[in-house]
Structure 1
Amino acid sequence: MAPVTQPLVVPATGPRPTGEVPLRQAGTLVRALVQLARPGQWPKNLLVVSVPLLDPQSWGRTPLTNLVWAVTAFILTSVLVYVLNDMVDRRRDAANPTRWHRPIASGRVTPRVAVVFAAVVAAALAGVLSTFTPATAWPVGVYLLLNLGYCLGLKHVPLLDVFLVASGFALRLMQGYLATGTTVSGWLLTAVFTLCLLLTLGKRRHELKNSGGTHRPALRGYTVPLTDQLMQLSAALTAGSYLLYLRDEAPLAAHASIAAVLLTPLAIFGLFRYLQLVLVHDAGENPVRVLVRDPVMVANAALWATLSGVLLVAARGAG
């Protein structure tokens, strides 16, 4: 009988292929930079900058192209703000039980790498803004200045902190109007501003209840009962502003009365649902997640968007 030959076994302790460790480290760094850019927050730029699409005058190739550039500009601008904020807060975040894992606070992204990343983003933003005129790019500049002050200390001032955050969304909306060349709606701008106050206050309430306000100095100027009252006031102002927009400024022509009957209950229901999620279910930690993941909110928003679209198309056809 022929002897049985044993298969050749390569020792598991041999050297790793050249370049495997650097490639793995590069992949880890890329994932950390993506996390630093917070892509989960980008949808709010699309949603708010695109609000002027409610006006049929913006339904053209050039306005839509400009709108794409406006959304891109605010995404890049917000990424710059996130990097700056995380740089300034890296020591405070490192000591926070819920934020220690952030890329800079955890050490996965060094301050030097963060600066280089910010420079690349700033260069990309400059390229996008080169397609704008100074008269249409000012909301981005004001947003950067406001957030520079926010990151360097204004975020620690109670009440002013939430107004600055809401102002950022109002500036996004202004950028959308400038990009599409449509008339600014004062009541809709007010509704967006007060709605963002509501969402930001919901986040502050969640932080108060779950962390006691130790990680955010501005929370020393809030209490849960105060945030509850401010949220209710913001919701009332949002509803009132939206109703006035439908009555006085919405481009609905003869369909304004029908829009008020059909859209008002949906808008108010959406506000009620958000208050229920925050005040009853303590779901205010991430407003974007609440708006896009809660099935009831999504279904209500989809119905509102569908009816709004049908009414706008009908108004444009009648015109």
Structure 2
Amino acid sequence: MPLLDSAPAAAGPAVHPPAAGRTRLLVDLVRLVRPGHWAKSLLVVPVPLLDAPSWHPAGLARLGWSVLAFVLAACAVYVGNDVADRHRDRHHPVKRHRPVAAGRVPVPLAYAWCLVLLVLLALVLAAGLTGPAWPVLAYLVLNVCYSRGLKHVPLVEAGVVALGFVLRAVQGYLAVGAAVSAWLLLTVFAGCLLLIVGKRRQELLDGGVAHRPALRGWSVELAGHLLQLTSVLAVTAGLVWLSTEAPFDPYGEAAMLLSAPFVLYLMSRYLQLALVRRAGGDPVRLLLRDRAVVAAALLWAAALGALLTAAQFPALIAALP
């Protein structure tokens, strides 16, 4: 009589505890709103503080709520776009791992998550905590138009994304009550367009045009030329702002001359990372994690801070021996 088989039974599909599944789902919902990209609003909305005649608690409070409003608006847009683009994202080597494209977050749940974010945004705006809020609403309308068709129009889609950052800066101006600086807005637009062009170039190299139809109107060579054009525009507009409209009077020309080496280095470093090391696919991560960029930016900020102190407190400078 043969011995009974004592080998363990074949392992079936792993059964995960419900709590573990809920935890993974919550993590995916957080990933869906891309916390790493919240820095876009944290950095751009407060830009008008550079032009504000004075900082006061009420204006700073409105600015903080404005940052939150744009974070909520952008999160809702991210979720909506991920749902709409889930089929194309599956052709991209990186985006195919996004929660909706990978199938880890069901589409109905993603829509419900988007609705929650929009309700929270409506509560912030209805309470009047941001001051005038038309830039946030314009941002939402712009992104609806983007999702409905503008994202398929070559070149125009990149300009629409950059315009979203200009609206962030305008919201900041309204929150602090400062006069809008055309040169600073142009700098924001050109700088953001530069990063977007670098991202499109990297997308061409990584995944071709399957995941983004608008890339059919692009080429790596065109993206390279546009990087040159937008970098020159960003540098020129920024230096003109420093010498004319920035609050460094009577040291405007000194601010421009002091900034020129830092600006040229930072621009050159970004182009090196984007063109040589092919690291332009995630500009936020690239700029915030590159040690050379962070170090140069901190040194530049310290230098401008010292010059701003001299411009705003002349008596303090005169008292120095």
The answer as to whether partners of 2:29 and 2:105 remain within 8 angstroms in 1 is: yes
- Do the aligned partners of 2:139 and 2:167 also contact (CA within 8 Å) in 1? yes
The counterpart of 1:199, out of the listed 191, 195, 201, is 195
Aligned counterparts of 2:229 and 2:153: Cα–Cα separation in 1: 20
* Count of equivalent residues: 301
Residue 311 of structure 2 is matched in structure 1 by 315
In the TM superposition, what is the alpha-carbon distance from 1:58 to its structure 2 partner? 4.4
Q: Which of the residues 208, 213, 220 maps onto 2:204?
A: 208
- On the 8 A contact 1:58/1:64 being kept in 2, the answer is no
Judge conservation of contact 2:65–2:130 (CA < 8 Å) in 1: no
Q: CA deviation at 1:255?
A: 1.5
| Distance in structure 2 (CA, Å) of the matches to 1:214 and 1:244 | 40
Aligned equivalents of 1:252, 1:58: Cα separation in 2: 13
Q: Pick from 83, 88, 93: which aligns with 2:89? A: 93
Q: 1:154 corresponds to which residue?
A: 150
2: CA distance between counterparts of 1:58 and 1:129?
25
> Where does residue 295 of structure 2 map in the other structure?
299
Q: Deviations over 1:138-161 (max 9, x none)?
A: 100110011111112211110001
Q: Distance in 1 between matches of 2:199 and 2:130?
A: 34
Aligned equivalents of 2:52 and 2:100: distance in 1? 44
SS of the equivalent of 2:209 reads coil
Amino acid in structure 2 at the alignment position of 1:170: V
Where structure 1 has 5 or more consecutive residues not aligned to the other structure, the ranges are 1-19
Cα separation, 1, equivalents of 2:61 and 2:242: 27
Stretches of 4+ aligned residues off by more than 4 angstroms = none
Give 2:9's aligned residue. Answer: none
Q: Give 1:261's aligned residue.
A: 257
What amino acid is the match of 1:179?
A
> Of 283, 290, 315, which residue of structure 1 is paired with 2:279?
283
Question: What amino acid is the match of 1:59?
Answer: W
The alignment-based identity, stated in percent, is 48
1:277 is displaced (CA, Å) by: 0.9
TM superposition shift of 1:301: 0.8
- Conservation of the 8 A alpha-carbon contact between 1:36 and 1:103: yes
Residue type of the alignment partner of 2:108: R
Give RMSD over aligned pairs: 1.8
Shift of 1:119: 1.6
Q: 1:230 aligns with which of 226, 229, 232?
A: 226
| 1:113 paired residue number | 109
Aligned-residue offset at 1:75: 0.3
* More displaced stretch, 138-147 vs 120-129: 120-129
In 2 relative to 1, CA 58–215 (structure 1 residues): closer, same or farther, beyond 3 Å? farther
Paired AA for residue 26 in structure 1? R
Farther off after superposition, 104-113 or 155-164: 104-113
CA separation of 1:36 and 1:248: change in aligned 2, threshold 3 A? same
1:185 is the counterpart of 2:181:
yes
Secondary structure of the corresponding residue to residue 95 of structure 2: coil
Measured at CA, do residues 46 and 301 of structure 1 come closer, stay the same or move farther in structure 2, by a change above 3 Å?
same
- Normalising by structure 1, we get a TM-score of 0.90
For residues 237-268 of structure 1, the C-alpha deviation after alignment (integer angstroms, 9 at most, x for no partner) is 11111121112101111111221121122112
| C-alpha deviation, 1:53, in angstroms | 1.7
TM-score (norm 2): 0.90
Which residue in 1 is equivalent to 2:51?
Answer: 55
Distance 1:95 1:211, change over 3 A: closer
1:66-99 Cα shifts (integer Å, max 9, x gaps): 1110110000000000011011112222344332
Unaligned runs of 5+ residues in structure 2 are 1-15, 316-321
CA distance in 1, matches of 2:228, 2:185: 19
Q: Which amino acid aligns with 2:45?
A: V
Q: Is contact 1:67–1:179 with CA below 8 Å preserved after alignment?
A: yes
Counterpart of 1:127 in structure 2 is 123
Matches within 5 A, 1:39-78: 39-78=35-74
With 110-119 and 281-290 compared, the bigger mean Cα shift is at: 110-119
Q: 8 Å contact 1:56–1:313 — kept in the other structure? A: no
2:250 matches 1:248: no
Relative to structure 1, the CA distance from residue 47 to residue 135 in structure 2 (aligned partners, 3 Å threshold; closer, same or farther) is closer
After superposition, give the CA deviation of every residue in 1:123-146 in whole Å (9 maximum; x if it has no partner): 111121124389710100110011
User: What is the alpha-carbon distance in structure 2 between the residues aligned to residue 72 and residue 138 of structure 1?
Assistant: 15
